[in-house]
Amino acid sequence: MSAVDDASSTRTGLVGLGWNSFFEPAFVALGVEGLTPARVVREEKERYLVCGELGDMAAEVPGRFRHEATDVSRFPAVGDWVAVKLLSPGRALIVAVLPRRSAISRKVAGPRTSEQVLAANVDTVLFVAGLDQEFNPRRIERYVAAMQRSGAAPVIVLNKTDLCPDLAARIVELQGVAAGIPVHPVSALEEKGLDALHEYLRAGETIAFIGSSGVGKSTIINRLLGTERQPTGAVSSAVGKGRHITTRRELIPIPRGGLLIDTPGMRELQLWGDEADVNRAFEDIEELARGCRFRDCRHQDEPGCAVRAALELGTLAPERFRNYAKLQREALFLARRRKTAALKAKRVPRRDARED
């Protein structure tokens, strides 16, 4: 048995929190006595709650960590595994963040060109969309691109079937938007269809819920937990929509096994990715593009464009193509911004990443 295997076998108490052999080599490589692994359960303004074999601990990062972190994404996020040093009973110092198996990210809001990690080390990410007046296939395409980049298995949950007069039509719409991704129609209010989500609740695995405000994530989570743990807003009689009032990301153990991460509803999801991520979310358009006469076809007025031909035939929805082009432009703009920021970072002395 190798040193890594031997060390890993002594951490059986962490398996229920999601620990596995992926994290052990990086932890052992730190080579620092007195450290113990723990998982980030909650984060609030650089104050963390972590959980490990020593139980729950309040933790923070040292000043040196703040100085050396070149980007906000290097700070601990909910779901991260970290190496901590015990300071006193119930208090710890985060020495290092272990490499992530997966990360659900977006560009931070505002003008900064930085990555915000919404949840780390997730096995399955469930995007919740409402089947009420907020149903928007274009928004779903954006989230599909983010989910496929994350490294976690993507799933789409269509909530509020009780408010949808033509569910079959909505399902057909998604066949061209999220091909190959499991889609589960549910009604959290009426507790229908939720049994299908239980297949993702596996011991030692983590699921994360993402989506816009008011789609019912917290209500679904409460049903899965079997208790009213997550706060939900009142339901509007006009649109039948609950107001999502979750204000922080949190790792929550599930009674029947596994863990889940709830995230606050997002008003916008700015992509943190590149053209390849967009291409994966629009594989049907990429497949058409392979039939274009020119390899660098822009799908505008070039002769022999297979994409324009599909648009004229009606086999490709114009709104889907417009969104594809929009997200491609967004990815290119982000790539230029990231390149500029990298060059600037080489010229400017390093400072606290939180100040950027």
Per-residue pLDDT at 240 exceeds 50: no
Distance (Å) of CA 41 to CA 60, 77, 227: 13, 9, 19
Q: How many helices (H) and strands (E) does the chain have?
A: 10, 15
C-alpha 51 chain-centroid distance: 21
Q: How confident is the model at residue 244 (pLDDT cuts 50, 70, 90)?
A: very low
pTM of the model: 0.86
Predicted confidence (pLDDT) at residue 239 exceeds the cutoff of 50: no
Predicted confidence band of residue 324 (pLDDT cuts 50, 70, 90): very high
The 10s digit of each residue's pLDDT in 291-305 is 999 999 999 989 999
Is it the case that residue 75 has pLDDT exceeding 60? yes
Instruction: Write down the residue that tokens 């490499």 correspond to.
Output: 99
Q: Residue 294 half-sphere exposure, CB side, CA atoms within 13 Å?
A: 11
Query: What's the pLDDT band for 356 if we cut at 50, 70, 90?
Result: very low
Average pLDDT over residues 102-114: 88
pLDDT at site 5: 45
Say what the pLDDT of residue 87 is: 95
For position 231, what pLDDT does the model report?
57
**pLDDT confidence of 339, banded at 50, 70, 90?**
confident
- pLDDT computed for residue 21 by the predictor: 92
The pLDDT of 57-78, averaged and rounded, is 86
Dist CA 323 CA 330 (whole Å)? 10
Q: Once rounded to an integer, what is the mean pLDDT over residues 318-335?
A: 94
State the average pLDDT over residues 185-201.
94
The answer to whether 271 and 328 have CB atoms below 8 angstroms apart is no
Q: Which residue has the higher pLDDT, 265 or 77?
A: 77
What number of residues does the chain have? 356
- Look at 3-7, 247-251, 302-306 and tell me which has the smallest mean pLDDT: 3-7
Q: Residue 228: its pLDDT value, please?
A: 77
Residue 290 has pLDDT above 60, yes or no: yes
Percentage, residues of the chain above pLDDT 90: 68
Mean pLDDT of 137-154: 94
DSSP code for 253: E
- DSSP assignment of 142-195, as one string? HHHHHHHHHTSEEEEEEE-GGG-S-HHHHHHHHHTTSTTS-EEE-BTTTTBSGG
- Calculate the average pLDDT of the chain: 87
pLDDT at residue 7 greater than cutoff 60: no
pLDDT band with cut points at 50, 70 and 90 for residue 3:
very low
* Percentage of the residues of the chain whose pLDDT score is greater than 70: 88
Q: Report, as an integer, the average pLDDT of 63-87.
A: 88
Domains of the chain are 3-97 (2.40.50.140), 103-262 (3.40.50.300), 275-355 (1.10.40.50)
- Kindly tell me if the per-residue pLDDT of 210 is higher than 80: yes
